[in-house]
Structure 1
Amino acid sequence: MAVLALLLAAALFALFCLDIATGETHIPLDRVLDVLSGGGTRAQRFIIWESRMPRALTAVVVGAALGLAGAITQSILHNPLASPDMLGITSGAGLGAILVLTGIGNTGAAASVGAPLAATLGGLLTALAIYSLAWGRSATGEVGATGMRLVLIGIGVNAVLVAGISWTLTRSSLETAARAQLWINGSLNAADNSTLVPAALTLGAALLVAVASARTLAALRLGPESVRVLGVRVQTQQAILLGTAVTVASVATAAVGPVGFVALAAPQIARMLFRTPGEPLVGSALCGGVLVVGADVASRTIFPVDLPVGIVTAAFGGPFLLYLLVRMNRKATLS
C-alpha cells in the first residue's frame, strides 16, 4: 500500500511539473526541474515561481481537498454517491459566491474577498440545512441523520440550489453573468496566493483531523450497532467528520469555483487501486490531486481553447457516474 501511495505521489509530481511547463511560453521539463532545484534563468524563474506555481499548487490542493472530503462522506454514509457535489455542498458554495458576484460584489475588492467567504458560508449553511432535514427516527428506531436519508435530501437540495444559481444568473447583466459563469465552471485562471493559502491551511487541518479519526472512521463503516459496542458516539463523531469534509470542500470550492465529480470519483478510484474495504483517506487525496492537475494539463494541451478545469472533470465524471450506477445495480441484483 505504501508503494502504491508513493507511485501516486510520483504521478502527481510529474503532472505538476507538466502543468508548470505548459503555457503560452513552453518550458521544457528539464528546465522546470532545474528551476525547482534553484537554477534556471531569471525569466524562467519569474514565469515558474511567480506566474505558474500558484495555479499548479492550487490545482493540487483543491484536488486533494475534494478527494479527502469525498472519502470522508462516502465512508460515513456507506454510499459511493455521497460526495459533496452530489449532496449539494458545492452547489451551496456556488450559490453563495454567485450572489456576491452578481450583487454587492460586482466590482472592486468586494468580489475577490466577498465571493470566497460567501462560498464557504454557503457550503456550511447548506450542510447544516441538509443535516437538520435528515434528522429523525429510522425504521429501526435509531435517532439521528441516517446515510440514505442524507443522500436523498442532499440530492433534492442540490437540485434546488442549481435552479437558484440559474435564476440568479438570468437576473444579472450579460457582463456580470459571463464573469460569474466562468467561476461557476471551476476555473484556475484567477488562482493566486490569496486563494491558495486558505485552501492549503484548511486542507492541512482536515488531514490532521481525518488521520487522527482514522480508527473512528473505520468503526463507523461497520454500522451503528457495531459502533456502539465499540464505545463510539455515533452522532458526535459523524457530525465532526462530516463538518470537516464540508469545510474543506467549501473552502476548495471558494478557491476556484465548483469542480464537479472529483469528490465522487477520487475515493472510488483510490478504493479500486488500493483494494481496501473502505475509501482510503490519503489515497483519495492523492487521486483527487491527480484528477484536477491532469484535467488542468488536458484543458490547455488537448483542447483548442483553454477550458475551465471543471468542464474537463465533468466530461470525465459523467461516464464514471454511470459506471458507478451500473455497478451498484449489478451488486443489488446479485444480492
Structure 2
Amino acid sequence: MSIGVTSRSGPTRLRSTGGAPGGRVDFGRRVLVLRRWRIAVRLEWRSVIVCGALAVAVACMAVLALMTGSYQLSPGQVVSALVGGETGLVHDIVVEWRLPRVVAALVFGAALGVSGAVFQSMLRNPLADPGIIGFSQGSYTGALIVILVINGSYVQLIGGALLGGMATAIAVYVLAYRRGVQGFRLIIVGIGVSAMLDSLNTWLILKADLEQAIAAAAWGAGSLNGVSWDQVAIGGVCIAVLLLLAAMSSRPMRQMELGDDTAVSQGVRVSPARLGMVVVGVALTAVVTAASGPIAFISLVAPQIGRRLVRTAGITLAPTALVGALLCLAADYLAQHVAPTPLPVGIITVMLGGGYLGYLLFTEARRRL
C-alpha cells in the first residue's frame, strides 16, 4: 500500500512500496492518495478532517443522549455500560432503554441525509427533498394503509412504505415529463402531489377507529418513541445495503450534476443511473418512514450543510451522512430533554428545517435576479 500527498503549492512524487510507478499529480487541493494493488483512492484532506470532526461530534452527542433522562448517569457509567462493565439497572437503562433510540436516530438520520443527497445531485437542485417533492408523503400513505387496513408487521410496513413511495415517484415523474424531466418542473409537480397525499392521509386517519387514528397521528409526526432493537436491526441492515448502493452510484451522481449531456459524454448511462438513484433514494426514505414516521427536512438540510463544510462543488455522501445523523440525534435530544414537554422529533426538525428552507428560497431568488 502506498500513500501520497499533493497540495496547492505543488505536487509531490507518489512513492510506492507495492511496485506501482510513481508520478506527479496535481488535483488542485491537498489530497491523500491511497493505493492498494491496482486500486487508488483519492481523499481530500479537508473532507477527512471534517468527517473526523463530525464523527467526534456525533459520539459526544450520543454519550450526552445516553446520560440524560429521568435517571441521570455519568459519562463513565455510560462508557462502562457500553463495553460491558456495568450490570443491573445502569446496564438496562443504557443498553436496553436508551441505546436503541440513539442508534435509530443515528442510522435514520444518515439514511435521510443520503436520500436527500441522491435527489439533489440527480436533479441538480438544492430544493430536491423527498419530503418536498412528495416521496415521503407517498411512503407515509403506503405505511398508513398497512397500519390502518391490515395492521401489518414492521416488515410489511417497509413494503407498504416502499410501494407507496415508488408509486408516488412514478406519478410525479410521469406528470413532470415533457421532452425530458427538468428539476424545477419535477419539484413543482411534486409539491402538488405532496399536498394531495397530505389530504389523503388526513382522510385515512379520520376514517380509522379512534385508537388507531390517535396512534397513526402521533406516529405521523415523526417519533422515535416506539423504536425497538428489532426495528433497529432490520432497518439498519436494509439501510446499510442501500447506503452501499448509494456509494456505488457516487460517480454517476457527480457526473450527472454537470448535466445529462456531459454525463453521457463521460460514459454514464443516464436513464438506468437515474432509475437506480430514484429506487435507492425512495427506499432509504421508506425504511425510515416505516419505523418512525416521516421525519421532515433532514434530507433537505444535511446535504447542503455537508457540502458547505467540505467546500466542494458537488455533494459528497460521507459528510452528508454524518451531518444527517448529528442533526437527527440533536433534534431528538432537544425534543426529549430541552422542550417543556417531550415532543416527536419530527416537530423539531420541521421547526429547524422550515427556517432553513426560507433561507434557501431567499438565496435562490437573489441568485436568479
Match of 1:134 in 2: 176
- Mapping of 1:106-145 within 5 angstroms? 110=152, 112=154, 114-137=156-179, 144-145=180-181
1:30 equivalent among 76, 87, 92: 76
Q: What per-residue deviation string (whole Å, max 9, x for no partner) do you get for residues 181-219 of structure 1? A: 111001101101222123212221222222222221111
| TM-score, with structure 2 as normaliser | 0.84
Cα distance in 1 for partners of 2:144, 2:272 equals 32
The alignment's C-alpha RMSD in Å is 1.5
Structure 1, unaligned stretches of length 5 or more?
Answer: 138-143
- Mapping of 1:214-253 within 5 angstroms? 214-253=250-289
Match of 2:363 in 1: 327
Cα distance in 2 for partners of 1:274, 1:86 equals 25
Q: Percent identity?
A: 37
Distance 1:198 1:136, change over 3 A: farther
User: Are residues 1:260 and 2:301 paired?
Assistant: no
1:69 touches 1:249 (CA, 8 Å); kept in 2?
yes
Cα distance in 1 for partners of 2:130, 2:108 equals 13
Match of 2:21 in 1: none
Q: Which moved more, 1:172-181 or 1:187-196?
A: 172-181
Report the Cα offset of residue 120 of structure 1.
2.5
Q: Which moved more, 1:24-33 or 1:77-86?
A: 24-33
The higher radius of gyration belongs to 2
Report the Cα offset of residue 103 of structure 1.
2.8
One-letter amino acid of the structure 1 residue matched with residue 80 of structure 2: D
Match of 1:4 in 2: 50
Report the Cα offset of residue 132 of structure 1.
2.9
Report the Cα offset of residue 112 of structure 1.
4.9
2:154 touches 2:291 (CA, 8 Å); kept in 1?
no
Greater relative contact order (Cα < 8 A, sep 6+): 1
One-letter amino acid of the structure 1 residue matched with residue 236 of structure 2: A
1:272 equivalent among 302, 308, 320: 308
| TM-score, with structure 1 as normaliser | 0.92
1:19 touches 1:297 (CA, 8 Å); kept in 2?
yes
Distance 1:49 1:167, change over 3 A: same
Structure 2, unaligned stretches of length 5 or more?
Answer: 1-46
1:48 equivalent among 71, 94, 108: 94
1:184 touches 1:258 (CA, 8 Å); kept in 2?
yes
Cα distance in 1 for partners of 2:69, 2:162 equals 30
SS of aligned partner of 1:24: coil
Cα distance in 2 for partners of 1:94, 1:26 equals 35
Cα distance in 1 for partners of 2:252, 2:160 equals 32
SS of aligned partner of 2:339: coil
Q: Which moved more, 1:49-58 or 1:120-129?
A: 120-129
Distance 1:112 1:208, change over 3 A: closer
1:224 touches 1:234 (CA, 8 Å); kept in 2?
yes
